[in-house]
Amino acid sequence: MTYNFFAGPAILPKPVLEKAAQAVKSFEDLDLSILEISHRSPQFVAVMDKAEANVRSLLNVPEDYAVLFLTGGASSQFYFTAMNLLGENETAGYIDTGTWSNKAIKEAKLFGNIKVLASSKDKNYSYIPKDFDIPSGLKYIHLTSNNTISGTQYQEVPDYGVPLVCDMSSDIFSKPIDIKKFDLIYAGAQKNLGPAGVTLVIVKKDVLGKIERDIPTMLDYRTHIAKGSMFNTPPAYPIYVSMLTMEWLLENGGVNAMQKRNEEKAALIYGEIDRNPCFKGSVHADDRSRMNVTFLPTNEAFVEPFLAMAKEARCVGLAGHRSVGGFRASTYNSMNIEGVQKLVDVMQAFAKKHN
């Protein structure tokens, strides 16, 4: 068995892959592939309805929030959010915790005033900033809940007393969240939700339509709310696979069970990092991600031999991002405890051989 530790596109549950593969050949009783059917057909409308219902069930999403399935990845939401929520003379606060928040800041500056409230760049994004001033008059605060490259994560999102916009691309559905804390959440699917090609947006309806800017029809959230995420042809197959993944989550205890599962996996691998003489953690212990475990060798000469040993043991995708180096083990919901134990076994064998 191959254990997939890639950061994304990421591991999917085997039962989901099996159902998705069958649907490519023949979907329900149509004798047609799901790749061929009309998005207006009753069969696909049912998929879309079920996908939305699953989101609402997993996260307890209230009716005054819209659930959308869009395209363009989370990167499109960097400008989508600011275009829809931030007036030209208004100010939003952004917390800089790495590459993705940096990109969001760049795009948002096109639409209004952006104030970077705090940044962990001074220590190569190895921690989550916590003590900083919140100026008055902010339209919203934007944060990235989990940072795939640096390996940091908000264990709890603080109440800043300001509406929140959050990029949850890499940890949505990994634990319970209080939706009412947020005005808008967005997430690219290719971590815990489904394959690349669809982006989930959860937005409080009454925050929309309050700016004077003219917004292109396709870039206005209200367009997609009015058309049930089908203003244009939606990415049908990624939505279908996401629906299946959420069904799998519900069948396996929902986000509460995922939180417990992810805590167990994190404890196992971080425990090994902290006691193994060949490895060391790369981020502040309080801010360690349960989705993307980043760690470094105690000797740079260990990098290639360890990756080779891991690959031989069928643990793949462990090279760290080029901006951080070292190693990264992505342990999303679909990674089971056996996979993490296999990696820990390799780490222990490496230490026995090289130390």
The whole-chain average pLDDT of the chain stands at 97
- Check residue 81 and give its pLDDT: 98
Does the structure show a pLDDT above 90 at 6?
A: yes
- Check residue 29 and give its pLDDT: 85
**CA atoms of 207 and 209, how far apart (whole Å):** 7
CA atoms within 13 A of residue 136's CA, in its CB half-sphere? 0
Q: Which CATH number fits the domain that encloses residue 330?
A: 3.90.1150.10
Q: Tell me how long the chain is.
A: 355
**CA atoms of 242 and 20, how far apart (whole Å):** 10
- Residue 316 buriedness (CB in 10 A; 0-12 / 13-18 / 19+): middle
- Check residue 323 and give its pLDDT: 85
Q: Which of the four pLDDT bands, split at 50, 70 and 90, describes residue 238?
A: very high
Q: How many domains does the chain have?
A: 2
Same domain, 146 and 176: yes
Same domain, 216 and 268: no
Same domain, 263 and 342: yes
- Check residue 152 and give its pLDDT: 98
What percent of the chain stands above pLDDT 70?
100
Does the structure show a pLDDT above 90 at 254?
A: yes
Same domain, 30 and 178: yes
Does the structure show a pLDDT above 80 at 45?
A: yes
Same domain, 195 and 49: yes
> Collapsing DSSP states into helix, strand and coil, what is residue 133?
coil
Return the H-helix or E-strand segment holding 326.
Answer: none
Does the structure show a pLDDT above 80 at 60?
A: yes
**CA atoms of 340 and 264, how far apart (whole Å):** 10
**CA atoms of 215 and 221, how far apart (whole Å):** 10
- For residue range 173-205, what is the model confidence (pLDDT) as tens digits? 999 999 999 999 999 999 999 999 999 999 999
- Check residue 355 and give its pLDDT: 73
Same domain, 154 and 300: no
Domain boundary among 191, 218, 251: 251
Domain boundary among 233, 251, 269: 251
Same domain, 341 and 232: no
- For residue range 20-43, what is the model confidence (pLDDT) as tens digits? 999 999 999 899 999 999 999 999
Instruction: Report the catalytic residues.
Output: 100, 167, 191
DSSP of 150-211, one letter per residue?
Answer: TTEE-SS----SS-EEEE-TTTTTSS---GGGEEEEEEESTTTT-STT-EEEEEEGGGSS-S
Query: Which residue range(s) make up the domain with 243?
Result: 14-251
For residue 5, being part of any structural domain is answered with no
Mean pLDDT value of segment 151-163:
95
- Check residue 275 and give its pLDDT: 97
- Name every residue whose Cβ is closer than 8 Å to that of residue 342 and which is 6 or more positions away in sequence: 3, 313, 314, 315
**CA atoms of 291 and 170, how far apart (whole Å):** 7
Same domain, 172 and 265: no
What percent of the chain stands above pLDDT 90?
97
pTM above 0.85, yes or no: yes
Same domain, 187 and 230: yes
Same domain, 200 and 347: no
Evaluate whether 82 touches 110 at the Cβ level (below 8 Å).
yes
> What DSSP designation does 142 have?
E
